[in-house]
Structure 1
Amino acid sequence: MKLIYFDFRARAEVSRLLLAAGGREHEDVRISESQWSEEKKKMPFGQVPVLQIGHRVFAQSVAIETYLARKLGLYGQTNIDGLMIDQVVQLNQEFRAKAITAIKEQDINRK
């Protein structure tokens, strides 16, 4: 199993933490800026993170996180547990989107 992302945290960090918490051995592949233009062509949807399992490659950070949490027994015991986890994950996505918007804002008064 390989987790492929850039050499920083951001969208792959939850997956890395899940793999560590679950004690799952994996290859943590870090793509540099100089490698990205070539690697991008190989990625589903032209984006990372991706999770490679055998010869299959899967994209989208939340889909990867959900898969790993289920596979590693970290997704709760009931459907209600899973629902509670999903709501926190989706809230985190909303926070992240707002933070990125604020970071990219050039107008200091709007930040």
Structure 2
Amino acid sequence: MGEVDSRAAAADRQPESTHAVRLTAWVRGRVQGVGFRWFTRANALRIGGLVGFARNLDDGRVQVVAEGDRADCALLLDWLRHGDTPGHVDGVTEIWSAPRGGYEGFDMR
């Protein structure tokens, strides 16, 4: 496969930067009881254009669902992985999909 073919195949796997997407991320580590959801919401609002939520899960992880422009969702994901987050992030698993809608803002649940 040539370089052009490789780029085309990669583009098929990920939504383009200007398309609306849904990012679902599960954040592992010491992320509950430290203000993580509040800071996630604050960063989503700072980035702008994102709707969704952050919620604690029973297993100690935080689930983050964000819908908006792919580039904006990618900024939030980068912050989840490498930003100055409260607590300690051991890892983030994410899934990209089509937006489902139904959110009016970015909430903490």
TM-score by length of 1: 0.28
* Higher gyration radius (CA): 1
Higher relative contact order (CA 8 A, sep 6+): 2
More helix by share: 1
More strand by share: 2
TM-score by length of 2: 0.28
